[in-house]
Structure 1
Amino acid sequence: MVALTELTQVTPNSGRLTIQTVEIAPETTAIRCLDWDRERFDVEFGLRNGTTYNSFLIQAEKVALVDTSHRKFEQLYLEVVVGLIDPTKIEYLIISHTEPDHSGLVKDILQLAPSITVVGAKVAIQFLENMVHQPFKSMQVKSGERLDLGNGHELEFISAPNLHWPDTILTYDHKTSTLYTCDVFGMHYCDDHTYDENITLIEEDFQYYYDCLMGPNARSVLTALKRIEKLEIVTVATGHGPLLQHYISEWLGRYQNWSLEQAKTETLVALFYVEDYGYSEHLVSTIAHGCAKTGAAVELIALNSAEPQEVRELVAQSSGLVIAMPPQSSVMIQAALSTILAAVQKKQAIGLLESGGGDDEPVYPLRNKFQELGLTEAFPPILVKEIPTQATEQLCDEAGTDMGQWLNRDRTIKQIKSINTELEKALGRISTGLYIITAKKGEIQSAMLASWVIQASLEPLGVAIAVSKDRAIESLMHVGDRFVLNVLEEGKYQGLMKHFLKRFAPGADRFTGVKTVSAQ
């Protein structure tokens, strides 16, 4: 395989950026965006070898682009794409998942190719609609469905939710035996080698990446591995780092072993939904995201395609269950619901929500059945009476977080008790103030009481704030978001402190009864 071109630019804020285009299979080109100087990803994880963002162009009878790149590569990436092909000839844009480092240039591609069809999971299409704020043609795909590009390039889609994004799909090209995996099997590693020739050089980064991003969803990893086990894979076209070709069985074997070990000790939440019914999948995915923030493992399963044995096994293994109410008119799905009721155990937690499909099974009779069987309600039933809004999504996310915190309460108490007493005393002597952090994004707003706030820099003035991943406000404090640091006045803080220390129900307005002023 021959490198076709290499472009480089150096920017003050981003460091050295390089793009390579490499033919990796017949009519298939990898567009590798090398970010040599990136030092962190997902805020808290340090990088020692930069990273790459990989995109792929399949030029068969019909042309498909698999993923885009990070926005920092906008100029270089678009220049390369235009150099490879007239963008108006690209018929499909396949979105493996909507995380910004892979979908950051979707809007730019849509401007270059307005007639392009965006292909992705149902949840991915919904996410994109909120990201690009313009109409576009789309094709929702489910696991097992195929797209024929001609010349033998038949693409098969494999659902892999929560790896590590709720809308993830893998794509397998039957002609080239290439599996496009985006984040799955990737690593944050940047060098000129396209493939994994030297296993000892990259294996530490491979495991670090798994531990940070895939390990928290070990059961979802095992499900994805099972779905691809019969595929003949020549190349794993990852979204980050080198492509895998020389040691594929070794890499997949490590994922298998690590995930089996991880799955033995983790808390599992099973989330049941009905494909193509109302907002079932989208809302359940949002609840799953909230659960995962607490360290709980999540497994999404479609009731209209799952085998009864699969449902029974998953219920038996789970500490928590979430059900998006199925339609009353489906006999097959009613049978699946009966299977769940027969398999549940006391001490499990349960959460129910309407699907918004118009023919939902009533929530409260089913709620009563679960309570009679001894299950604990993790959050009140979520009733969907209209098209879900940002507020609905916030409600679902916080409900999932509440369930995860409830299930992990014993582990949390154990961790607190394990803190060294001398360290605890030392930390207690550190003088800190009291602050209220407030943030707003669209129609969503939140707040929290904070004490761990320190000055981080003078020029420009910066502060560092400790925010736990499972705090509701965390989702409003990502890169590019804005927040307000409110300093409580000495002698006048008791009322506000008491208000913001209390536990809020999922979706509750944190500012009820509090006088507020909007920040400019």
Structure 2
Amino acid sequence: MSATLCAARVQASTAGSSQASRAVPRSGAAARPAARPAPRQQQHRGQQQQHVANAAAVEAPASPHRMSEIEMWNGNKRLQTLVTDVAANTITIRSLDWDRDRFDIEFALQEGTTYNSYLIFGADKTALVDASHEKFRGLFMRTLNEELAKQGRSIDYVFCSHTEPDHSGLVKDVVEQFPEAIVCGSKVCLAFLDNLIHVPFKKQAVKGGDKIDLGGGHVLEFVMAPNLHWPDTMFTFDHATNVMYTCDAFGLHYCTEDPFDSELKPLEPHYQFYYQCLMGPNARSVSTALRKVKDLPYEIIANGHGPLLRYNVPELVGRYDKWSKAIAAAPASVMVLYAADYGFSDRLSQTLAHGITKAGVATEMADVLSMDPQELVEMLSRNSGVVLMTPPNDAPEARGAINTLLSAIKPKQKVVVAESYGGRDEPLDSLVSGLVSAGVEPLLDLRVKEEPTEGVYQLFEEAGTDLAQALIAKDTIAKKKAAMNPDVAKALARVSGGLYIVTAAHNNAKSAMVASWVAQASFEPLGLTIAVAKDRAIESLMQVGDSFVLNCLGDGEYNALLKHFLQRFPPGADRFEGINWQPAASGSPVLNDAIAHMECKVVSRMETADHWVTYAEVVEGQVAQPDKRTAVHRRKVASYY
């Protein structure tokens, strides 16, 4: 299964499968713990296969998990904490964000999310691994203090896996209450924390291979894993319990009472979605991290989001390896330079990266504020494209990186420059001027004049896709011709289809495409399928749960509409300018000149090599011109639409 496409919302293999599997508490009442499943027996894969220990060898903890009362946030969002044992002398405090429907780079969530932190009670010292989102301030701090009081403990160490606010948002509260606690993290992490919490705290920078002994065999070893969605990421491995703390890596946005991956099937689409959106753009860094931990006998992965991995560790780690290798085999790659923790640089750069990867091109992301010049030159040499987000104009390290980039960039490299909307952006025009002087004409320059809306994110995703397509256009055409047997291509072309315009909208983002690969797929309920190319702009608006409109073109009267929607639109362009349309109930455009239309809701999607086959239920429909027939599309060969 391809790992190069990042959907804007998670794909589910069957409608409603995950919703049925999660126990959601009633608002205002404490939830009852779900029954704990028995441990599953799995075959031991051995040290020769990534040295990943068999997860089934770990006995499920005997004590039930403990859940807090529900608190409401912003009036209608349920928050709750769950505490359960993970391993010997180790518990997790999971902050359950039941109703969160958007996360990080403005992608929708179907099942909420969690923020996982951990307490390790060594014989001599106690460590907290990561904190929580600031919205959980009251709940998390009460729960933390209750668990410490039960053990008669204080906090001696805080291990900060990275400084993204959903994991470090309460570090300030922790160090203010426990001023003797030593915060451990990478050098970059501690520098970020200084700018984040603005209070003095004890700190200890750690490097890969460093260890801290909590007593009782709990020796914590650190593994540096930078650029796994954040430049300062590190893993922590406990030699006493074989638990590896990985923060964002190996996570998923899935809020459930079950603390572990007891049932894999409902988790799978969310796990892949999470990888595609957050880890896929950093596939090279994922592979590097996997090599670093291959000799550690980890049995449990204590991640930062979603259920912990206990029962399916070899399988799920193997998928990261497989997906990352698939991305590494892409015909081209793009270096994406952003400024960490500045304006919207992180989110917008991730969105650009998604647009790039959905078109089959790899990305390599790096923080321009923390890059070594030699590292930048090496990265530039192995990428055929470059994305540069504007850094802050008062950061000397950014100026040095820009000068290095301008001196090393090659005229054949394709470049996109974009504003970060941070308030102190390096002027975009000066970057463009510098690139032109270096012999490089930017393919696109993206300007952000207001806080990014969904339309701005659509602009950035489409810009990424355009950049990727420009890099691999010749290769794509050659592959299509080489892959098809001429006789088979002519025979397949005899399968004819109608002509349609598919339209979709979500808030202020709208898109459309011409479609002919459309077929009825079911009677009850009435349903149809549409094949959507992975690099189509509209693909991000046709995820499971989304609505769209299928507009039927009339025989002999479709030329004007067809010509309009077949043109290549620049990123962010209004595809409906000059077109008469009315919004359907979902907001998707109904074209006035269509002879009929159907409003549809996506139920499931099946992935093929270069398309998503989307199955949708037809919920509404109307024939505007009963005497007209749908136009038929015929081809000579099947190597084009």
TM tier, smaller: 0.5 to 0.7
- Given the alignment, which residue of 97, 105, 112 partners 1:104? 112
Tell me, in whole angstroms, the C-alpha distance in 2 between the residues paired with 1:15 and 1:329. 47
Shift of 1:328: 2.2
Partner of 1:282: 347
- Is this contact kept in 1: 2:501–2:551, CA < 8 A? yes
- Given the alignment, which residue of 493, 496, 508 partners 2:558? 493
- Is this contact kept in 1: 2:497–2:517, CA < 8 A? yes
Q: Please state whether the residue corresponding to 2:477 is helix, strand or coil.
A: helix
Which aligned pairs between 1:440-451 and structure 2 lie closer than 5 A?
A: 440-451=505-516
Label 1:138 to 1:432 Cα distance change in 2 as closer, same or farther (>3 A).
farther
Label 1:117 to 1:241 Cα distance change in 2 as closer, same or farther (>3 A).
closer
- Given the alignment, which residue of 268, 277, 291 partners 2:356? 291
One-letter code aligned to 1:414? A
1:507 aligns with 2:515: no
Tell me, in whole angstroms, the C-alpha distance in 2 between the residues paired with 1:394 and 1:244. 38
Shift of 1:339: 1.2
One-letter code aligned to 1:384? V
One-letter code aligned to 1:391? G
- Unaligned 5+ residue runs, structure 2? 1-13, 24-32, 41-59, 69-79, 87-91, 116-131, 142-159, 173-182, 194-202, 204-213, 253-259, 263-267, 586-641
Tell me, in whole angstroms, the C-alpha distance in 1 between the residues paired with 2:287 and 2:221. 22
Q: Please state whether the residue corresponding to 1:370 is helix, strand or coil.
A: helix
Partner of 1:7: none
Which aligned pairs between 1:24-35 and structure 2 lie closer than 5 A?
A: none
Shift of 1:341: 1.3
Label 1:138 to 1:402 Cα distance change in 2 as closer, same or farther (>3 A).
farther
Label 1:270 to 1:223 Cα distance change in 2 as closer, same or farther (>3 A).
farther
- Deviations 1:41-99 (CA, angstroms, capped at 9, x unpaired): xxxxxxxxxxxxxxx99x9xxx999xxxxxxxxxxxx9x958999xxx9585699x878
- Given the alignment, which residue of 468, 473, 477 partners 1:409? 473
Tell me, in whole angstroms, the C-alpha distance in 2 between the residues paired with 1:464 and 1:168. 43
Label 1:311 to 1:223 Cα distance change in 2 as closer, same or farther (>3 A).
farther
Shift of 1:472: 0.6
Label 1:167 to 1:506 Cα distance change in 2 as closer, same or farther (>3 A).
farther
Partner of 2:453: 389
Partner of 1:270: 335
Partner of 1:375: 440
Label 1:394 to 1:306 Cα distance change in 2 as closer, same or farther (>3 A).
same
CA RMSD, Structure 1 to Structure 2 (Å): 5.5
Would you tell me which structure has more helix in proportion to its own residues?
Answer: 1
Label 1:496 to 1:369 Cα distance change in 2 as closer, same or farther (>3 A).
same
One-letter code aligned to 2:138? S
Tell me, in whole angstroms, the C-alpha distance in 1 between the residues paired with 2:18 and 2:424. 54
Q: Please state whether the residue corresponding to 2:520 is helix, strand or coil.
A: strand
Partner of 1:202: none
Which aligned pairs between 1:217-296 and structure 2 lie closer than 5 A?
A: 218-225=283-290, 233=298, 235-237=300-302, 243=310, 263=328, 266-296=331-361
Identity of aligned residues (%): 37
Label 1:64 to 1:223 Cα distance change in 2 as closer, same or farther (>3 A).
farther
TM score, norm. by length of structure 1: 0.66
Q: Please state whether the residue corresponding to 1:436 is helix, strand or coil.
A: strand
Which aligned pairs between 1:3-18 and structure 2 lie closer than 5 A?
A: 14=17
Tell me, in whole angstroms, the C-alpha distance in 2 between the residues paired with 1:16 and 1:285. 28
Shift of 1:423: 2.2
Shift of 1:346: 2.3
Q: Please state whether the residue corresponding to 2:561 is helix, strand or coil.
A: helix
Q: Please state whether the residue corresponding to 2:521 is helix, strand or coil.
A: strand
- Is this contact kept in 2: 1:324–1:355, CA < 8 A? yes
Partner of 1:518: 583
Tell me, in whole angstroms, the C-alpha distance in 1 between the residues paired with 2:161 and 2:422. 21
One-letter code aligned to 1:281? D
Greater Rg over alpha carbons, structure: 2
Tell me, in whole angstroms, the C-alpha distance in 1 between the residues paired with 2:413 and 2:386. 7
1:478 aligns with 2:543: yes
Shift of 1:235: 3.5
Partner of 1:3: none
1:115 aligns with 2:180: no
Aligned length: 430
Partner of 2:418: 353
- Is this contact kept in 2: 1:216–1:296, CA < 8 A? no
Shift of 1:404: 0.8
- Is this contact kept in 2: 1:354–1:383, CA < 8 A? yes
